[in-house]
Amino acid sequence: MIYFDHNASTPVLPEVVEAMRDCLAGLPANPSSAHREGQRARAAVERARAQVAALVHARPDEVVFTSGGTEGDHAGLIGAAWALEPRGRRVAISAIEHHAVHGAAEVLARSGFEVAHLPVGTDGWVPPDALDALPAGTTLVAVMLANNETGVLQPLAEIARRAHARGLRVLCDAVQAAGKVPVDVELLGADYLVISGHKFGGPKGAGALVVRRGAPFEALFRGSAHEGGRRGGTENVAGIVGLGVAAEQAGRDQPAEARRLLRLRERFEGLLHAAVPDLVVHGARAPRLPNTVNASFPGARSDHLLMALDARGIEVSAGAACASGAVEPSPVLRAMQVPRELAVAALRFSLGRASSEAEVAEVAAAVGAAVRAVRAATGGAGA
């Protein structure tokens, strides 16, 4: 099997498995209990908090553990919008945010908030001057650091600078960026930042929301004083410990791994171009994550290509959603104004720790063969 779907999830690192196993077996108490066993569990949670804080250059007391990216995006967007409500009931999110941010914005809209969408250029980039058009009463803007589909890195520091000049707070979904590129919450200027463990070698269902000191925030989950009153609920101790170990490892390996993946990705794109000369790489002119390629293969539908590659043991993601036989372009590619016939023929390849030269060569050759086969079978009819 060749796994080129690391933006969907990554294999759990062996060190993480070991730490979580030790924790499940040896730390049975509730970290809120005052007795010695409780305090051992508490110490493990606090060690992980420091590890997570170090990955994103935050202070440990700014880290709030969550059940992952979706919860972090909800707690961040809704918790900040509620706390900022006395100043206005408008928030803005970029058009290419993950479904989790769009979902959180829908929750706000249900209770009367207005949600504006920042446009994106054809290269997948949110232009910072889009902020200038936001109406008065906007309190918060959410822009991701790296897009999960195209890998395009957003000009977050400039967006935050403009937002702060207008008195707006900034939420950054850094779920796809953490572990792949440097993430420094201070340099980015984000007031709230979200990460998720399973995107960098940690367990699924464990993540963190960073709430900077002084950033207004109201808890979504209430009823108890966990996480400094910012997230009620007994901590997922094993998940948090696994997240911490993964964060430490990701921080240590990130610079060398990013260089290695970038070389591999460039080689992969070159081979793909040779195999399918008319392919279109989305976001090709923008700065991108070192591990991600999103490309369209004109005349070959995403779902057909995905199945052909899966049959050869190659796992990738379709760049378009498929429901009951019809194929729908992804909202991200639509926002980038990719023509429909190209958008329904997109695949996302996302490389990771185990990816090698041999694998990129094999996948590029398999993609070439799959594109030829699908075009021959469907007459290159695309959608």
What is the contact surface with ligand PLP in residues (CB under 6 A)? 68-70, 73, 98, 100, 144, 148, 173, 175-176, 196, 198, 207
Q: Which tokens is 144 given?
A: 């991701």
Nearest CB to ligand PLP, comparing residues 196 and 254: 196
Min separation Cβ 272 and ligand PLP, Å: 23
Beta strands in the chain (DSSP E): 2-3, 63-66, 90-94, 114-118, 138-142, 169-173, 192-196, 207-211, 280-281, 292-296, 314-315, 317-318, 320-323, 326-329, 346-350
Closest CB to ligand PLP among residues 94, 176: 176
**Nearest distance from C-beta of residue 248 to ligand PLP, angstroms:** 19
Is residue 322 among the annotated active site residues? yes
Write down the catalytic residue from 8, 322, 373, 383: 322
Choose among 42, 53, 140: nearest CA to 88. 140
Identify the H or E element spanning 253. helix 237-275
Alpha-carbon distances of 269 from 79, 220, 303, rounded to whole Å: 41, 43, 21
**Is 167 buried (19+), middle (13-18) or exposed (0-12) by CB count in 10 A?**
exposed
**C-alpha gyration radius of the chain:** 21
For ligand PLP, give the closer residue by CB, 4 or 304: 4
Rounded Cα distance between 120 and 109, Å, is 22
Q: Rounded to an integer, what distance in angstroms lies between the CA atom of residue 79 and that of residue 35?
A: 32
Nearer to ligand PLP (CB atom), residue 91 or residue 275 = 91
Please, which residue, 196 or 330, has the CB nearer to ligand PLP?
196
Question: Where do we find the tokens 């057909």?
Answer: 304
Cβ 98 to ligand PLP shortest distance, Å: 3
Looking at the annotation, which residues are catalytic?
A: 322
